Amino acid sequence: MTLLTEIEPATAVKKIAALDEVNTFVFDMDGTLLNDEHVISPQNLRALHGLRERGFNLVIATGRHVNDVQFHLQQLGGDIATITCNGANIHDRNGELIYREGLPLLVNQTLLPLAAQFNVNLNMFTDSEWLTIAPCEAMLDAHEQTQFFYRQIDLQEMIATPALKILFYGEHAELLKLKAKILEHTSLQINLTFSDDCYLEVMQKNISKGYALKVLLEKLSLSVDQAMAFGDGLNDVELFRTVAHPVVMENAGKTLKQLFPNARRAQPNHEDGVAKFLFDYIL
Q: How many CB atoms lie within 10 A of CB 78?
A: 12
Helix axes 105-115, 172-183, angle to 10 degrees: 130
Element holding 95 (H helix, E strand): none
Helix, strand or coil, per DSSP, at residue 165: strand
Contact indicator for 22, 227 with CB cutoff of 8 Å: yes
Q: What is the C-alpha separation between 283 and 224, in angstroms, rounded?
A: 20
Closest CA to 106 of 193, 204, 209: 204
Element holding 217 (H helix, E strand): helix 209-219
Residues near 146 by beta carbon (within 8 Å), at least 6 away in sequence: 68, 69, 70, 71, 72
58 forms bridges with which residues in the sheet? 25
Q: What is the C-alpha separation between 205 and 201, in angstroms, rounded?
A: 12
Q: What is the DSSP letter of 282?
A: T
Of 20, 28, 36, 79, which one is the catalytic site residue? Answer: 28
Q: What is the C-alpha separation between 236 and 27, in angstroms, rounded?
A: 10
Give me the amino acid identity at 55: G
28 is catalytic: yes
Q: What is the C-alpha separation between 219 and 94, in angstroms, rounded?
A: 13
Residues near 100 by beta carbon (within 8 Å), at least 6 away in sequence: 88, 89, 90, 127, 164
Q: How many CB atoms lie within 10 A of CB 72?
A: 23
Q: Give the catalytic positions in this structure.
A: 28
